[in-house]
């Protein structure tokens, strides 16, 4: 039995039924649907719609339904159009006629939006915990990296030496912002649609503020028309998951590059790499490629929902049924990816000698310019002189550190024998000691800041 058969003379076409049915997706909100119904039963009992006895029967029945969902014993019927129908159908099997009063003053429009928000309020802490664990993996690696130096890149060209620890932590902070963004979303999710009816509000004398409190929402939605159509929280959630996906993808791209033979900066554990069916030598970073790939899928889910929302007439429109699948797919993708990434990063092996070998002395050309700045020459001039030194080194096929002192002094008389000290990558790193720089102390301070905020 559908919840709406009365005014129809024939049953819905089978294929139209399949199109319309949302049970495959929304059965995931079974527990939330029962919880919302328990709170609604309580509210309409207080409003005088349910007698004490009816309320008790409904509450006990809903508890049984909930237990059946939790234990996996619940059986869906072919006529269950959605999770709301399934719960009400089962309740009527358990308690009989009283079940028919539960939906008084309520619509599936305010009900589904409530279920979805309840689900999301449970999902956000789960994602947050998984992100936090990935952050811990990054910090563990940063601590293990000690004084390991590596090339830092801009434009994927060797730029300046950095600490490996600094690089690890550069992936910590985006996740910190992602977590803050997710948690900022909570107050906007915790606004209760229940009690708004189909669109115009409920005719019952329901205390919506108390209802909100009983479901741990912070307030009742202030406008019923907005309440049943507002899916901002779903779009915002998808923006959060997309940006998380983008951050993970950037990290993944670097791991893919750095595990290639050309870079050789890292080696993946066998437990997190895959082989080729044809080439016996291959060790592929599939975990990271999939992470990069999923970012595209996550972005598609966000743009898909925004496109669904953009032209909807007020208030509830069935297009909105598309919202949940997108959010669930995004949540599931991250729920699978995040622990795998944490494991893969915890077990990756850094190759400090390969990283060190990729630093050539031209990467200290900025330090060469700074050396002359310390001798009182304006940076604009010292930049040009250091550039000429790089040219001279390239022409004579020597490293900057191999060029004779006379060659330097021909470019500027300010060069002295101590100039060769600037070509030590660690000394270049140590100079970058202001907050946020790559020096050992600065990186230690980052870790301290991270630990203090945990």
Q: Closer to ligand ARG at the Cβ: 45 or 106?
A: 106
Minimum separation from the CB atom of position 318 to ligand ARG (A): 6
d(CA 284, CA 272): 9
Closest approach of ligand ARG to the CB of residue 82, in Å:
5
| Least separation in angstroms between CB 321 and ligand ARG | 4
What minimum distance in Å lies between the beta carbon of 96 and ligand ARG?
25
CA distance 199 to 95: 29
Minimum distance, C-beta of residue 28 to ligand ARG, in the bound complex (Å): 11
Length of the chain: 454
User: In terms of C-beta density within 10 A (0-12 exposed, 13-18 middle, 19 or more buried), how is residue 27 classed?
Assistant: middle
Q: Phi, psi (5° rounding) for residue 163? A: -85, 140
Known catalytic residue at 9: no
User: Any residues with CB less than 8 A from the CB of 413 and at least 6 apart, and which?
Assistant: none
CB-nearer residue toward ligand ARG: 54 or 110: 110
Nearer to ligand ARG, 114 or 446 (CB): 114
In the complex, least distance from residue 437 CB atom to ligand ARG, rounded to whole angstroms:
51
Residue 276 annotated among the catalytic residues of the structure: yes
Q: Are 202 and 195 contacting, i.e. CB atoms less than 8 angstroms apart?
A: yes
Using CB under 6 A as the criterion, which residues of the chain lie in contact with ligand ARG when the complex forms? 22, 26, 82, 108-109, 112, 316, 320-321
Q: For residues 327 and 333, give the distance between their C-alpha atoms in angstroms, rounded to a whole number.
A: 10
Question: Can you give the C-alpha Rg of the chain in angstroms?
Answer: 31
Q: How far is the CB of 229 from ligand ARG (least distance, A)?
A: 10
> What are the contacts of 444-452 at 24+ separation with CB within 8 A?
446/166, 446/169, 447/139, 447/142, 447/143, 447/165, 447/169, 450/135, 450/139, 450/169, 450/172, 451/139
Q: How many CB atoms lie within 10 A of CB 448?
A: 10
Residue 153, number of CB atoms within 10 A of its CB:
16
Of residues 64 and 202, the one with the C-beta less far from ligand ARG: 202
| Cβ atoms within 10 Å, residue 89 | 20
- Is residue 424 within 8 A of residue 400, CB to CB? The reply is no
Q: Which is nearer to ligand ARG, 22 or 362 (CB)?
A: 22
Of the pair 234, 365, the CB lying nearest ligand ARG is at 234
Tell me how far apart the alpha carbons of residues 422 and 433 are, in angstroms, rounded to a whole number: 16
Task: Look up residue 222 and give its two tokens.
Answer: 């202030």
- Spatial neighbors of 415 by CB under 8 A, at least 6 apart, are 371, 372, 405, 408, 409
Nearer to ligand ARG, 112 or 182 (CB): 112
Beta carbon of residue 42, minimum distance to ligand ARG (angstroms, whole number)? 22
Helix count (H) and strand count (E) of the chain? 19, 6
**Which residue, 321 or 445, is less far from ligand ARG as judged by CB?**
321
Least spacing, CB of residue 320 vs ligand ARG, in Å:
5
Residue number with CB closer to ligand ARG (294 or 324): 324
> Please, how many CA atoms are within 13 Å of residue 170, restricted to the half-sphere of its CB?
14
Q: Which of the following is catalytic: 51, 276, 314, 396?
A: 276
**CB hemisphere CA count around 140 (13 angstroms):** 14
Give just the sign of the alpha carbon dihedral 144, 146, 150, 153.
Answer: positive
- Cα(383)–Cα(377) distance, rounded to whole angstroms? 10
Active-site positions? 155, 276
């Amino acid at each position: 039995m559908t919840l709406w058969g009365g005014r129809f003379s024939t049953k819905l076409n089978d294929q139209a039924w399949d199109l319309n049915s949302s049970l495959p997706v929304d059965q995931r909100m079974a527990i939330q649907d029962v919880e919302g119904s328990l709170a609604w039963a309580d509210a309409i009992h207080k409003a005088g719609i349910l007698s004490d006895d009816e309320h008790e029967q409904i509450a006990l029945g809903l508890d049984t339904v909930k237990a059946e969902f939790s234990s996996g014993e619940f059986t869906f019927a072919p006529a269950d159009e959605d999770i709301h129908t399934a719960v009400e159908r089962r309740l009527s099997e358990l308690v009989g006629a009283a079940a028919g009063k539960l939906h008084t003053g309520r619509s599936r429009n305010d009900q589904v939006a409530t279920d979805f928000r309840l689900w999301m309020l449970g999902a956000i802490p789960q994602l947050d915990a998984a992100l936090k664990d990935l952050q811990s993996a990054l910090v563990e690696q940063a601590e293990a990296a000690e004084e390991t130096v590596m090339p830092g890149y801009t434009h994927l060209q060797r730029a300046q030496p950095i600490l490996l620890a600094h690089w690890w932590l550069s992936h910590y902070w985006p996740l910190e912002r992602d977590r803050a963004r997710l948690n900022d979303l909570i107050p906007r999710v915790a606004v209760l649609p229940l009690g708004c009816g189909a669109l115009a509000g409920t005719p019952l004398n329901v205390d919506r503020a108390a209802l909100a409190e009983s479901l741990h929402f912070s307030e009742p939605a202030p406008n019923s028309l907005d309440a049943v159509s507002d899916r901002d929280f779903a779009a915002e959630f998808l923006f959060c998951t997309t940006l998380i996906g983008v951050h993970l993808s950037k990290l993944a791209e670097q791991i893919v590059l750095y595990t290639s033979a050309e870079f050789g900066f890292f080696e993946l554990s066998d437990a997190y790499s895959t082989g080729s069916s044809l080439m016996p030598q291959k060790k592929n970073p599939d975990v990271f490629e999939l992470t990069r790939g999923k970012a595209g899928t996550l972005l598609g889910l966000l743009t898909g929902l925004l496109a669904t929302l953009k032209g909807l007439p007020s208030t509830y429109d069935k297009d909105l049924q598309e919202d949940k699948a997108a959010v669930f797919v995004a949540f599931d993708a991250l729920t699978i990816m995040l622990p795998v990434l944490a494991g893969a990063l915890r077990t990756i092996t850094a190759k400090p000698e390969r990283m060190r070998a990729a630093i050539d002395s031209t990467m200290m050309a900025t330090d060469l310019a700074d050396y002359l700045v310390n001798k009182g020459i304006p940076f604009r001039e010292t930049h040009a002189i250091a550039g000429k030194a790089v040219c001279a080194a390239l022409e004579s096929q020597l490293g900057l550190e191999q060029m004779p002192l006379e060659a330097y002094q021909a470019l500027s008389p300010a060069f002295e024998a101590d100039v060769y000290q600037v070509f030590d990558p660690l000394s270049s790193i140590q100079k970058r000691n202001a907050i946020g720089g790559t020096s050992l102390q600065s990186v230690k301070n980052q870790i301290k800041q991270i630990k203090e905020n945990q």
